[in-house]
Structure 1
């Protein structure tokens, strides 16, 4: 490697880190011909010598015509090694196998569009992770400047999701091709600011290095070499071509195209003809296709190819075919074709690929270049349908739009495509929405609804318009569109379309804060769906109705409805996961942690089995599973689940997911929380949930750091963001009141400052009380146990601000969190211990302090442990001394147990084995064993029988039976 030591060194360092268990990404940029491919080839050789699994995929100038082309290319090469780790992994992932030519992966799954894309992304990540467990992986994607939108999205996804996998991801791109509006530009800008990403810019070779390089190529006098060095501008490929073109000649061609064509013109006429045909095929061409397109007999063709290969213009490809030595050469030959020649050859290739079953995307490309509108229309529609199946909605939208542009010029378009213009526009809009381009989808449907008159089409178009507007939070005209969809079917009788329109109308009514109308509409949608067998609409209506029932006060009824929704087997996987998430969420909010954990685990399993771990509801289910374990005190499992919640975030969805991990990180006082909050800060102005999660926990962290003023600033910002009836206000009000209490307790605070603080406390408590009492529709129904716990905490913190706190108000907070929220139970006991000391009840204070200390130690909640230790030092508490000073307080024997441990103890008392306990509570036998050991230690029991006797004595067995 001449003159590239520094660049190669940076790439090797990324490779080393990947081998050591820290995933890395390298983006290699440089002008065409500057030596990127040679650099990557050297990296690949080094990786292979170190037993890396190497995957190499190349983008083509066809661009968006062929979605996932480099991934397909890489997998096709790996699939050719039967028994290899990639081939084995592919066999278990039909969604990836389906990308390969001649795949026998079976029919496409029910998931299409965005869901199919999420499944494909998740499957790619899991494949790389699985292979990396056996051997480290180098995954190279070349020429990303030609990548399709879905491939670019995949690169972004992998860059953000790869963490500790032994994977090195490398992408190359041409800097001279990146014009101001090039779609790769924002992707590079987004990725290159991430610490995981190493940017490698390949500069021009220095003159001395270039001269050394040319000398090594072969004979040549110093005068000729000096001339080439001066003209080449540091570009190795340009220099090599100049050097070859001037061999035996004094003439120095001018432009790079001239240089390249000078090489071509040195070929025989037949060889030039073959090379021109190959250039129309693209960077690579299959031998049999080339043979048929060139129209030559085997003898002349092989002689021409031998001449071309010997001159280094084509190389024998990895498959049965040939590839141009460099993309610039293919471009130069293609650009030199006459217009008529180009059109004729594209049409020839289109005909050949049609006969041989070529991909619809390639056919669309060739027919379009050949100006054959009928062929282009048919192929574009088929390519769009194929892209939808593969999970490439952006490319599908592009194909459908191209077909719509040609539609008016093809008289028999409907017969050719098997669809009509309205249906094709609906498909195009759906693809746009699936790719995240809601603006385009909405704009297409708004134009389309002015062109149709039949009731069914009016209903369908307006229903989809309202649905996409709801997804895009574009409320203007949304309710009117949804109402129009329902009204259009008023005289048409019941149908699945009516059920779907009603379900969407109910959703839009709910978004517009009209719960009574939303409820009535959802009930009607449910009835129509059941009578017409519209399972998707039925599930959607059940979920909508349950959400309404939950907010209007019938939480038990909401759980019943969601149980029914979760039990449905809808073809729409997104609706299935949405139902399961909401079912688990309602169980959690009703305080049934065990049931919520089971439901969340089942939902996560469904998401994993269907490849939708990274879909919206797949992600929500994983967070809910994390939250259950955070609340029930199993922080070890919660921490394991949070390993996939990336710190370095770049999108709102990633920011939401990342903010969840703050619960344990702040609770344990980890430095990682500081970095996570720094990455989340830019999103505080962009998303309400990120503000609530991240700034709410930033307030908690500031409190532990002794900075209540900053804590109040964060809490106030969250309060200003939430709606008055949002139940989240209860928690943030309690947090803010805690900060105000600390400010009020400062001995240096003046009388006027204290008055202001107490007024703020009054206002904040009023907000919390209003949210606790009022939902969207007015009076709030049953407040869940966690809500009651935070409401009690807010009241107690308000009393701290005013200096009127009593043990009773803090006992109410402890009782509020007694449903199993270990951490908040311990924090409330800390404050209760403080106030008991102030009132002189030392014995009761020590009992509360001991329980809180035990929980803090078990959770490794360092900040809480530190303040408890300080309280213990001031009060001269000792856990051991407490045991010596008095007989055990029988009332508190079971108080140190978590909610989950109480469940385990009840089953121990019933005589269940660890295996049976695990099956009953949906935990592993090992986890059950750990719980039993912890219970014995806390109760001071030597055996399970002794622990059972204590449980009987305290009434646990009877109450749980």
Structure 2
């Protein structure tokens, strides 16, 4: 893979490409315009414009592309000449050029008209260009692209200004690209850009750097031959490249080749520095040691220049856009890799001296910068003490990843400095525990487990209380890593090491962790006693976080045995205790179960508030990708989705990545499927990324495959639906309440199979489907009624009861007994607030009523379901309802006042007219100022009302029956 290769597909530039294609659309409609595309070198301007030119060619436009070159002012009109010569094979363009001698001289084979240009030569040429573009535009739209305008000659800049001002009704779209990082204060293009952007016909598109997910997709796209990039590679490349595609590709290629920084890229970046004066280069070298942000006073003092010389040097550096003013007293490098290249070019002794200079001038806090400079200056005692302080500072700031890094550095220096305990203010074991704590908070429990195993091996057994603490921590993180058997054993070992009296914080914590682990098994009858003992011991020993953990376990235990509304108070108390004690792991666990328990009881308004508050806390404290941080985001989405607030659910899901690497990313991505499937969106790309995770994560497989089964059922693909549900049912314990929904989805598919088999005259297939439905219903009943230890389940959430009702109704449908009573029970069960599922259940209720001849009631339920489905934008359900309305002739019972020919509303006639023109849903939405989802619903209604199955048939019927006439 070459470092400069481009991804074959356009990644992460949908908004920018939409802006460019919008300008092209306006030009095609007769409104000329110009767009200036800017961005750093390597950010993808050419790739974006390339996508636009391909689109334009596909639409039949005339496409002219010219490029400036780094030749100073020696080649006037170079991009125009390049564009005309590149398109001169087009007969229409060649004829237009032949009619304009002023332009022929721009071509390599042109001779012009022999007339000296004179004083009016430029105006003459400008007029010829304007006439040429206008003539070509009369035949078909013209796209003129002038690339790399930062290298444009003066005449080209004048031409750009002229065309931007005078193009008006010509069908011409002008695109100019330039490097924003090259436009230093005195660059000649800079005032031109400022002038052009004041014109109403000129717009700007600035390409931002890639986000992490876009970098991941880009690296995967450019490396088609080797293994896909790992999460570590993606993170490293993204951080170092700051999202610049060119730099990312170069770094990725270098990493795969075993290099640290590509020599070619370093040379490219250093070429700018080599053009500076000696003093300016000296300041840049000093600034490179400072890091990304450079303090004016510090860099002056470290560089060794006097104030006047340093000021002059900085002015030169800023004018060349190597450093950018940032605040009143500071600068930043234009790009981090520029700083890195300069830094890498320093001689070893020079680098050490500069770091030492910064370290000598920096205050003790913030400590991270002092630690960095001291370590690079080989001042190990100062680096060690500063690293410890930096770790503590990072913890206070809610930055666990950084805290772990600082503590790790301090531990690596422990044996290299004199009297480390005095310098650190604590012993080595407590620094190790701080590193463990940071690992857990950053969502890396396995890293914490590894460190704790080593600490237990090295620990002095005579210190019993510390031994208990280490084992309690290990048991906790083993539980987070799904190693429940070992977690149980280690917890019991820790509890046995200390007596119950007197109560100690360490034993209280061990009891709380043991109770937490016991919840996984649910079969130990002593769990209640253990949880209560943990709470009592924690209170007696003054351990609020252990008390909070015990309260959460106590609440979960009580909730599983009886419908106890008092658990809400337990979870609230636990959350507040843990957050006040600074234990965010336990606090978020309590916050999740608080919101979840309210949600399970059907109080959606209170659940919304609880989930929103918890997610706000995670975001404010940098915990959004922690174990419970990700789970809370999923719950927040699910509450809004359930309550029918799909606008807010969509806003939340917009932050869920599609290209996933880590389990937490896959988890939140899977939840987005709820809304995407219900609204009929394309889920192919999301499933492509999720599918590889299913084999290693049962929960993600449960969510993702369960929803993929529902999607297949909507498509009529019962085989795929049953494959997904069978995979889930075969890998989960039979008494999990979550399996009720999976069984209900499988029953939907089996009922559809039975109905089709009967319609096709295949009683054997119908009987097979019905028998399988019986088995699936038993699975649902078992999951609803029994706990994993074989006891009767005392309480089941409202949603669980609703899905069980759905399963009962689907089983009856599979047996040919589509019961309105069972579907009424399903509607009632979901009526605690699950808007979409109420509408979906009414669909089946209307169907069953129609089958029994209860037409009036069927119409009433059908209308209610259709109204709600249309309001939500639930396109598959709308289509199913319209299909039912057509088959059962329920549509004829609907007599809205505003209908016209064919039973269409005025709005539907507008949509039909656009369908007849061949427009897709997105184009219809744009024309009528509605959303694409609303357009999709209207189209579904039209197909049903006209009793046709395709847009083509709808258009034909509209013309033959005169439905489009006023």
Into which bin does the TM-score normalised by the smaller protein fall?
0.5 to 0.7
Partner of 1:422: 429
1:537-557 Cα distance to aligned partner (Å, 9 max, x none): 222222111122222344434
Change in Cα spacing, 1:483 to 1:601, as seen in structure 2 (3 Å) is same
**Structure 2 equivalent of residue 187 of structure 1:** 235
- Which residue of structure 2 aligns with residue 683 of structure 1? 693
Structure 1 residue aligned with 2:467: 458
- TM-score normalised to the size of structure 1? 0.62
Match of 1:393 in 2: 400
> Is the CA contact 1:711–1:736 (under 8 Å) kept in the aligned structure 2?
yes
Q: Is the 8 A contact 1:652 1:686 kept in 2?
A: no
**Cα offset, 1:740, TM superposition:** 0.9
User: Pick from 757, 769, 784: which aligns with 1:757?
Assistant: 769
1:894-938, Cα deviation, whole Å (9 max, x unpaired): xxxxxxxxxxxxxxxxxxxxxxxxxxxxxxxxxxxxxxxxxxxxx
Specify the alignment match of 1:693 in structure 2. Answer: 703
Residue 736 of structure 2 aligns to a residue in which SS?
A: coil
> For this pair of structures, how many residues does the alignment match?
706
For 1:822 and 1:317, locate their aligned partners in 2 and report how far apart those are by CA, in whole Å.
53
**Which position in structure 2 is the counterpart of 1:551?**
560
Gaps of 5+ in 2: 23-36, 45-68, 71-147, 151-177, 196-203, 252-262, 898-966
Give the drift of 1:735: 1.0
What do the CA deviations read for 1:562-619 (whole angstroms, capped 9, x no partner)?
Answer: 3443565633345444323322221221233343334334444555666766665455
Deviation sequence 1:758-778 (CA, Å, 0-9, x none): 443232222112101112333
Change over 3 Å in CA distance of 1:27–1:880 after alignment to 2: farther
Q: Tell me the distance in 2 between the aligned counterparts of 1:600 and 1:735.
A: 27
In the aligned structure 2, how far is the partner of 1:794 from the partner of 1:192?
52
Deviation string, structure 1 residues 30-77 (Cα, Å, up to 9, x no partner):
9xxx9999955137888999899xxxxxxxxxxxxxxxxxxxxxxxxx
Deviation track 1:304-358 (CA, whole Å, cap 9, x = no partner) reads: 9979999999988747689999657744763263xxx8767755654x236x446
Which residue is equivalent to 2:834? 821
**Structure 1 residue 736 displacement after superposition:** 0.3
How do 1:731-750 residues align onto structure 2 when only pairs under 5 Å count? 731-747=741-757, 748=760, 750=762
CA contact (8 A) 1:633 1:823 kept: yes
The 8 Å contact of residues 754 and 767 in structure 2, kept in 1 or not, is answered as: no
The yes-or-no answer on 1:667 pairing with 2:640 is no
How do 1:212-611 residues align onto structure 2 when only pairs under 5 Å count? 318=325, 327=339, 330-331=342-343, 334-335=346-347, 337=349, 349-350=358-359, 352-353=360-361, 356-357=363-364, 359-450=366-457, 451-452=459-460, 453-475=462-484, 477-490=486-499, 493-566=502-575, 568=577, 570=580, 571-604=582-615, 606-607=617-618
Question: Measured at CA, do residues 492 and 805 of structure 1 come closer, stay the same or move farther in structure 2, by a change above 3 Å?
Answer: same
Q: Name the CA shift for 1:692/1:235 in 2 (closer, same or farther; >3 Å).
A: same
**Cα distance change on mapping 1:237 and 1:156 into 2, 3 Å:** closer
Q: 2:475·2:488 contact (CA, 8 Å) conserved in 1? A: yes
Pairing 1:770–2:782 present: yes
How many Å separate the matches in 2 of 1:653 and 1:458? 32
- The alpha carbon displacement at 1:836 in A equals 3.6
Matches within 5 A, 1:814-893: 814-877=827-890, 880=893
Q: Distance in 1 between matches of 2:671 and 2:869?
A: 20
Rounded Cα–Cα distance in structure 2 between residues aligned with 1:363 and 1:506? 44
- What per-residue deviation string (whole Å, max 9, x for no partner) do you get for residues 660-708 of structure 1? 333333233x334454444433333343333222222222222222222
TM-score, reference length from structure 2: 0.62
Cross-structure match for 2:111: none
Say what the alpha-carbon RMSD is for the aligned residues. Answer: 5.3
Distance in 2 (alpha carbons) for counterparts of 1:49 and 1:660: 48
Taking structure 1 as reference, are residues 236 and 673 closer, same or farther at Cα in structure 2, changes over 3 Å only? closer
After superposition, residues 612-631 of structure 1 pair within 5 angstroms as 617=628, 619-631=630-642
SS of residue in 2 equivalent to 1:334: coil
CA 1:328–1:191: 2 relative to 1, 3 Å? closer
Sort the Cα spacing of 1:41 and 1:811 in 2 relative to 1 into closer, same or farther, 3 A.
Answer: closer
Instruction: Give yes or no for contact 1:400–1:425 (8 Å, CA) kept in 2.
Output: yes
Preserved CA contact (<8 Å) 1:364 1:379:
yes
> Does the Cα contact within 8 Å between 2:38 and 2:206 map onto a contact in 1?
no
1:826/1:851 contact within 8 Å kept:
yes
- Displacement after TM superposition at 1:865 (Å): 3.0
C-alpha distance after superposition, 1:221-257 (max 9, x if no partner): xxxxxxxxxx999955677899x8xxxxxxxxxxxxx
Residues 860/525 of structure 1: CA separation in 2 closer, same or farther (3 Å cut) = same
Q: Secondary structure at the match of 1:745?
A: helix
Partner of 2:75: none
Q: Match of 1:477, SS?
A: helix
Residue 661 of structure 1 aligns to a residue whose secondary structure is: helix
Look up the match of 1:86: none
Aligned partners of 2:630 and 2:667 also within 8 Å: no
Tell me if structure 2 keeps the 8 A contact 1:309–1:315: no
Q: Contact 2:231/2:662 (CA < 8 Å) preserved in 1? A: no
- How far residue 20 of structure 1 moved from its aligned partner, in angstroms, is 9.0
Structure-2 change in CA distance of 1:160 and 1:608 (3 Å): farther
SS in 1 for 2:526: helix
SS of 1:820 mapped into structure 2: coil
Q: 2:853 and 2:323 mapped to 1: Cα distance?
A: 90
Q: Pairwise mapping of residues 706-725 of structure 1 onto structure 2 (< 5 A)?
A: 706-725=716-735
Q: Whole-Å Cα distance in 2 between the matches of residues 324 and 625 of structure 1?
A: 40
- How far off its partner does 1:478 sit? 1.9
Larger RCO, structures 1/2 (Cα 8 Å, 6+ apart): 1
For the 8 Å contact 1:551–1:776, the answer to whether it is kept is no
In structure 2, the CA distance between the partners of 1:136 and 1:875, relative to structure 1 (3 Å rule), is: closer
CA distance in 2, matches of 1:860, 1:689: 28
Q: CA deviation at 1:628?
A: 3.5
**Superposed, which structure 2 residues align to 1:159-198 within 5 Å?**
185-187=233-235
